[in-house]
Structure 1
Amino acid sequence: MSLPAPAGPSPSYERYAALPKAHLHVHLEAAMREDTMRQWCGEDGVEVPPLVEFPDFTRFLDAYGLLIALLRTPERVARLLDEVVADAAAQGVVAIEFASIPDKSAAFDTAEDALEFILPTAAAAGRRHGVWTGAIVSIDRGAGPAHALEAARLAARFAGRGVVAVGLVADERGNPVAGAADAFSIAREAGLGVVPHAGELAGPEEVRSALDLGADRIQHGVRAAEDPRVVEMLASSGVCLDVCPSSNVVLGVYPSLGDHPLPALLDDGVRCSIGADDPLLFGVDVVDEYVLAHERMGISEARLAGCARASIDSSFAPAALKRDALAGVDDWERTATLPA
């Protein structure tokens, strides 16, 4: 299902761009700028993938695969990282945790080579643009247990060098989060966070499983709203859901933003951050998501400031950065507000 695009630059956009926030649910390759993608498609002689309109999850994954294939040289990867971090800075993002699957990189011989390049390049971009960067090594839940263990071991080797967490991505259906339990244990032993996708295409039982496995955050997690007991578990645990409303509408999890459970989850005391998931493919950036949450979902500025606080506090960014950013949210709340 498609999602009407935000109206573009507006007082609302400027207002939420000024709100300090962490972007915790964003996939690196799909944060590519559209003009960059079109340039590389032209240079490589490949068809531009569909954007925003996906008849099913498989077609979405096909479009994502093309973006991965475009990143076939280190120079392109470096450009992508610089542009993603620059865009984050312009959107008021103080910390970005980008996810990728290093062993799918087309630009490097091995996943280890990919991280050896990506991590310092991202950190350098962060210093240029004033954004802290952390990398999430994603496990492809459909690639089997050997891949999961190797991805976790790879992430562990780069703990303290820019990798902050292990994630779990791709279609949940038939690939439960519990299958990654051993990989998560490896990540924890290395001091890394665990931030699986759960409760997007599968139901609240997957959110419960992620909580039982000790997830630090849950990406999506919105299907928890279907089971009051799971909602209560989330609220009492303080585990943050990294919610991406537009993604959920475009991929048919909900028919419209008006049907999305984010307002109800916040009302029930669940901590939520707001992310854009795959900005290029879904046609929204993280500021657009805040604007849509305010204007089309009826979430108040105060509640959205709370989402920004949750994003900062739930990130793996340094404590000093968190302290300063949270003070910035307080300052933002004291300035002129938009109509409710």
Structure 2
Amino acid sequence: MDEAMNEERLEAIAALPKVELHLHIEGAAPPSFVRGLASEKRTDLSRIFRPDGSYDFRGFVPFLETYEAATSVIKGPEDYARLTRAVLEEQAANGVLYTETFISPDFCGGGDVDAWTDHVAAIRETADAAERDLGVTLRGIVTCVRHFGPDRARKSARCAAETAGDWIVGFGMGGDENAGEQKDFAWAFDCAREAGLRLTTHAGEWRGPAEVRAAIEDLGVERIGHGVRAIEDPALVDKLVDKGIVLEVCPGSNVALGVYSDLARHPVERLRAAGVTVTVSTDDPPFFHTTMRDEYRALARTHGWDEAAFADLARTSLNAAFCDAATKDRIAKTLEDTCPRT
């Protein structure tokens, strides 16, 4: 295939409809959005930006520090409503039909249930309007922040339980994987489970396969954020397949942060070939200079995935989504109309 034809095919792949399950709402804030808020609030955040205007960090812990600094100016329901619109406009531009986004009570009201409820209402109202205007559907997964500790995670779980329903559909955990153990947060996950929420947690990004195993055995999750280092333990890979555990893989994020040196060394294809249920997401796209279109192009270019593979990926991702059956049926109809069958 000549280069022109190859690029044409890559663009066709990038234009396919998509489903994204691993997106942090603050981490999806465009740098221009954060700079604008900082200016409005007379807050100097120049330290977190490079001269070209992009976010500035080197490594995972500095990334978390930059993330939290950016989030410091996103305060109150109105700011989160504006952020939601900006994020969903970007999702629509990338052909994403359905998104699940992580939202933390630690950032949305400081763990206070009433403040949290106000934030959720503002985000949901904006999401509903964006669905009408842009055709992209959003649902929320409440997250606790691991390096904030188990006590604050309990507050987040209580907030999640208060707003569980057809829009808040899951509970999970992000933050620094090297802080504490998965089992330290079992109470929070049990609370969310009892409220009817479905469960995911970040694991197997910075710590090895034992962390993925702990997420499954200690928290009882059905999805795992990242989880890529499971590839280092063949028995664990078999466990993921046998139990139907879904990995929310974020290849561009893993390469940008140095988990893997490049996409060719990333295990997403090996996991997929082994029968693990794999989805693809962007994590914190402007931080990692990626989009869903970019992820599709990169995977097609590096691993040779074709249109049918990406169509199957979208269907697999929708099947793994935490939303209700009616929402899945509606999104599935669009996928059936637009995605090739193998």
Q: Same fold (TM over 0.5)?
A: yes
C-alpha distance in 2, partners of 1:107/1:119? 19
- Could you list the per-position Cα deviations for residues 266-296 of structure 1 after superposition, in whole angstroms to 9, with x for gaps in the alignment? 0001111100000110011112111111112
Measured at CA, do residues 304 and 334 of structure 1 come closer, stay the same or move farther in structure 2, by a change above 3 Å? closer
Contact residue 246 and residue 277 of structure 2 kept, 8 A: yes
Matched, 1:92 2:74: no
- Could you list the per-position Cα deviations for residues 55-93 of structure 1 after superposition, in whole angstroms to 9, with x for gaps in the alignment? 221210111012212213543322211121122122222
More displaced stretch, 67-76 vs 217-226: 67-76
Provide the secondary structure at the position in 2 that maps to 1:218: strand
Structure 2 residues without counterparts, runs of 5 or longer: 1-6
Matched, 1:166 2:171: yes
C-alpha distance in 2, partners of 1:175/1:166? 18
Q: How does 1:286-297 map to 2 (within 5 A)?
A: 286-297=292-303
Q: Which amino acid aligns with 1:58?
A: V
Which residue in the other structure is 1:46 paired with?
A: 45
Which residue in the other structure is 2:66 paired with?
A: 63
Matched, 1:247 2:253: yes
Q: How does 1:1-340 map to 2 (within 5 A)?
A: 11=8, 14-43=11-40, 44=42, 45-47=44-46, 48-50=48-50, 51=54, 54-105=57-108, 110-160=115-165, 162-212=167-217, 213-334=219-340
Q: Which amino acid aligns with 2:261?
A: P
Which residue in the other structure is 1:3 paired with?
A: none
> Paired residues, what number?
327
C-alpha distance in 1, partners of 2:225/2:331? 22
More displaced stretch, 117-126 vs 210-219: 117-126
C-alpha distance in 2, partners of 1:267/1:15? 24
Structure 1 residues without counterparts, runs of 5 or longer: 1-9
- Could you list the per-position Cα deviations for residues 72-117 of structure 1 after superposition, in whole angstroms to 9, with x for gaps in the alignment? 3543322211121122122222211111212223799733432343
Contact residue 250 and residue 281 of structure 2 kept, 8 A: yes
Q: Which amino acid aligns with 2:58?
A: P
C-alpha distance in 2, partners of 1:300/1:222? 22
Contact residue 74 and residue 107 of structure 1 kept, 8 A: no
Q: TM-score, normalised by structure 1?
A: 0.87
Contact residue 173 and residue 200 of structure 2 kept, 8 A: yes
Contact residue 159 and residue 190 of structure 1 kept, 8 A: yes
Q: TM-score, normalised by structure 2?
A: 0.87
- Could you list the per-position Cα deviations for residues 152-179 of structure 1 after superposition, in whole angstroms to 9, with x for gaps in the alignment? 1110100115211111111111422222
Contact residue 74 and residue 108 of structure 1 kept, 8 A: no
Measured at CA, do residues 60 and 33 of structure 1 come closer, stay the same or move farther in structure 2, by a change above 3 Å? same
CA RMSD of aligned residues (A): 2.5
Identity of aligned residues (%): 39
